[in-house]
A = this chain, B = another copy of it.
């Protein structure tokens, strides 16, 4: 038998277990030219929340009563395709199923000797690429500048901060527990950390941690933390809008202070970033990330949840910040 996880309700606010349904079905067989894949690691990511909304966006919304799709590392267990052999591991956008067939289109082989399989969903996958490519395109970090990062102990944020240190910047991270702050400083080498949950005045806390102001703000969260960052942004500052997790579960139009005055007065750049728009740069970027990893300049953290049945809960836990680093489900 095979197991599959479908989206059956569009979440209202924060996703809940009842929005998902487990389906038992026949285990598929590889057809002509196809491969049969066994899911090994499943990436759960905040952006999936956007696809659960019935709204035109950069990518089609999920259909109801069909399996959810995300980044997955799978093992080839049968192959009728010359490009893949039994025992190969592949990385691609695949369905939340224990077994599935594929023509191989859109899949990349990964080498389990070079890095752990789960790393290909994190530091060497879309999260690492997001950090690296967005900093190249929008952040354009210069030595001695100040880089502020929210979601700083998370999958993307922790890599952003480490790249900031590699580039010689003063790096300040924002996270939601003292344990995460400790991780940021001790494992990822951030200069300062701010616990936004225990800080009353984020504006003041950023001012203290960034005495020369903020040159680049890498934003994973949006909302009031973005407001406080904008209060401290420098002339010609750059804001990378990578995510807005604080708004994803909003059911009404979120409002806040207007930024246009600051944008004009300080000639600030704010730009949204989606790594999918930059696939032609993935090769070079992955090589740079792998080099830094091998040179021990880059470290990563994973929260690995065990068990196929725990995928929806692992996804939901993202919105409570229960992950440190990349959240991955091992099947």
Contact = CB atoms under 8 A, between A and B. Distances in A.
B265 A272 contact: yes
B267 A271 contact: yes
Contact of A244 (B235, B255, B264, B266): B264
Interface stretch (A36-44, A219-227, A308-316): A219-227
Which of A257, A268, A272, A277 has the largest count of B CB atoms less than 10 A from its CB?
A272
Contacts of A258: 222-223, 244, 247, 253-256
Interface in A208-239: 219, 222-223, 226, 235-236
Interface in A12-64: 50, 57-58
Interface residues of A, number: 37
A242 interface: yes
Which of A241, A244, A257 has the largest count of B CB atoms less than 10 A from its CB?
A241
A201 to B, nearest CB: 15
A241 B261 CA distance: 9
B257 A259 contact: no
A243 interface: yes
Nearest to A58: B265
Contacts of A247: 258, 260-261
Contact of A273 (B267, B271, B277): B267
B260 A241 contact: yes
Contacts of A235: 58
A57 B270 CA distance: 19
Which of A260, A267, A277 has the largest count of B CB atoms less than 10 A from its CB?
A260
A269 B269 contact: yes
Interface in A259-298: 259-274, 277
B260 A257 contact: no
Which of A58, A226, A263 has the largest count of B CB atoms less than 10 A from its CB?
A263
Contacts of A223: 258, 260
Given A254-B257, A270-B270, 12 more contacts: A57-B265, A58-B265, A222-B261, A242-B264, A244-B264, A254-B261, A255-B255, A255-B257, A256-B258, A267-B277, A269-B271, A271-B271
